[in-house]
Structure 1
Amino acid sequence: MGARITLVQGDITTQEVDAVVNAANSGLLGGGGVDGAIHRAGGPDILAECRELRATSLPDGLPTGQAVATTAGRLPARHVIHTVGPVYAKREDRSDLLASAYRESLRVADELGARTVAFPAISAGVYGWPMDDAARIAVQTVDSTRSAVEEVRFVLFGDAAYQAFTRAVDQLG
Structure 2
Amino acid sequence: MYVKLNQLRSWGTTPIAKKVFLYRGDSTKLQVDAIVNAANERMLGGGGIDGAIHRAAGRDLYDECERVEQVRPRVRCPTGEARLTKGYNLPAKHIIHTVGPIGEKPDKLESCYASCLNLAKTNNIRSLAFCSISTGVFMYPIEKATEVALSTTKRWLEEGDNNDAIDGIIFTVFSDRDADVYRQLLTTHFGPQHREVVNVDAGDDERGN
TM-score, reference length from structure 1: 0.92
Q: Which residue of 1 aligns with 2:52?
A: 37
- Output the CA distance in 2 between the equivalents of 1:139 and 1:150: 16
Give the Å deviation of 1:150: 2.1
Establish whether residue 152 from structure 1 lines up as the match of residue 169 from structure 2.
yes
Contact 1:68 1:81 in 2 (8 A): yes
Contact 1:45 1:71 in 2 (8 A): no
Give the Å deviation of 1:168: 1.1
Bigger-Rg structure (1/2): 2
Contact 1:2 1:144 in 2 (8 A): no
Establish whether residue 161 from structure 1 lines up as the match of residue 181 from structure 2.
no
SS at match of 1:81: strand
Comparing 76-85 with 56-65, greater Cα deviation is found at 56-65
The equivalent position to 1:21 in structure 2, one of 32, 36, 46, is: 36
- Output the CA distance in 1 between the equivalents of 2:79 and 2:150: 19
Q: Calculate the aligned-residue CA RMSD, in Å.
A: 1.4
Give the Å deviation of 1:57: 5.0
Q: Which residue of 2 aligns with 1:103?
A: 114
Q: 1:1-173, aligned counterparts within 5 Å?
A: 4-53=19-68, 56-59=69-72, 60-89=75-104, 94-145=105-156, 146=159, 147=162, 148-172=165-189, 173=191
1:58-86 superposed Cα distances (whole Å, 9 cap, x missing partner): 45321100001001010001100000010
Comparing 141-150 with 5-14, greater Cα deviation is found at 141-150
1:5-55 superposed Cα distances (whole Å, 9 cap, x missing partner): 1101010100011000000011100000110000000111111110000xx
SS at match of 1:153: strand
Give the Å deviation of 1:97: 0.5
- Output the CA distance in 1 between the equivalents of 2:70 and 2:33: 24
Q: Which amino acid aligns with 2:32?
A: V
Q: Which amino acid aligns with 2:91?
A: P
* % identity of equivalent residues: 40
Give the Å deviation of 1:2: 5.3
Runs of 4+ in structure 1 off by over 3 angstroms are none
Aligned residues, how many? Answer: 167
Q: Which amino acid aligns with 1:151?
A: G
Unaligned residue ranges in structure 1 (runs of 5+): none
- Output the CA distance in 2 between the equivalents of 1:164 and 1:87: 20
TM-score, reference length from structure 2: 0.76
- Output the CA distance in 1 between the equivalents of 2:153 and 2:83: 17
- Output the CA distance in 2 between the equivalents of 1:100 and 1:149: 19
Q: Which amino acid aligns with 1:70?
A: T
- Output the CA distance in 1 between the equivalents of 2:36 and 2:71: 18
